[in-house]
Amino acid sequence: MTSTDPEIEFSCSLASPGRQAELISIYREAFDNDPVFSWLFPDDTTRKHLLDRYFTIMVDHTFAHGGSALQTEDYGAVSMFFPPHAVEQPEETKNQLLRSMRDELGSRSERVIYLLTTLDTSHPRELPPHYYGTYVAARPEHQGKGLGTRLKRSLFALADQDRAGAYAEASSKRNLALYERLGQRRLGQALTLPDGPRIFPIWRPPQATDGATR
């Protein structure tokens, strides 16, 4: 995959559905200290176990309903996403995801259901066709090496191929600052979780062939 910027080369490719266990492992390790997932699963002693169960469902859901994932050449970092045709899903598909979370997480699913419902209802329906990047993560030993930047720019390259936008949510001010440097901008109000952190919807409009926004 190549960027529209000739000075930047990417070594990101689509993850194989047969490598889902590796994706789950990366997310389990990467999000152990994330502010949103610390709010979802506040007990430090059980968080990794619950992250494993959460992302088993999310990875299965993504691949089963039109989504995919980008990965660096060594699965050091991954990024799940939905392409434009799969962003808006039927209500029954959404409800099945919530039921799976309830069945798998039991009493610990309350905050998960709240989060997923909030993200869904806050996702603007009036946006033009766009890619929805859901979870970007790098293994702890690969963090701080620019892999997340490469994954984001690779997703932008996919969006530019389709003349589509790119929507996501930043789970921290640090991530927000990075995404803004890469060309996404805050969209609307931040989402504040009850007694928890804020989440920042971000947006990159479709790009015209000359690099100007439409």
Q: What is the pLDDT of residue 214?
A: 43
d(CA 82, CA 52): 21
Q: Name the pairing type of β-strands 165-170 and 198-204.
A: antiparallel
The structural domain count of the chain equals 1
Residue 7 has pLDDT above 50, yes or no: no
Q: What is the pLDDT of residue 108?
A: 95
Q: Residues 6 or more apart from 121 whose CB is under 8 A from it?
A: none
Long-range contacts, 96-102 (Cβ 8 Å, 24+): 97/57, 97/61, 100/57, 100/61, 101/54, 101/57
Q: What is the pLDDT of residue 209?
A: 59
Asked if residue 27 belongs to a domain, the reply is: yes
Q: What is the mean pLDDT of residues 64-89?
A: 93
Asked if residue 186 belongs to a domain, the reply is: yes
Q: How confident is the model at residue 140 (pLDDT cuts 50, 70, 90)?
A: confident
d(CA 31, CA 27): 6
Identify whether the C-beta of residue 81 lies closer than 8 Å to the C-beta of residue 131. yes
Asked if residue 214 belongs to a domain, the reply is: no
Dihedral in degrees, nearest 10, Cα atoms 211, 67, 193, 175: -40
Q: How many CB atoms lie within 10 A of CB 121?
A: 9
d(CA 204, CA 113): 27
Task: Provide the CATH number for the domain around residue 118.
Answer: 3.40.630.30
Residue 26 has pLDDT above 90, yes or no: yes
Amino acid (1-letter code) at residue 96:
Q
Q: What is the mean pLDDT of residues 129-136?
A: 97
Amino acid (1-letter code) at residue 171:
S
Tens of pLDDT along 191-211?
A: 999 999 999 999 999 987 554
Domain range for 128 = 12-204
CA 25, chain centre distance (Å): 15
Asked if residue 6 belongs to a domain, the reply is: no
Q: How confident is the model at residue 147 (pLDDT cuts 50, 70, 90)?
A: confident
Asked if residue 104 belongs to a domain, the reply is: yes
- Looking at the chain, the whole-number percentage of residues with pLDDT higher than 90 is 76
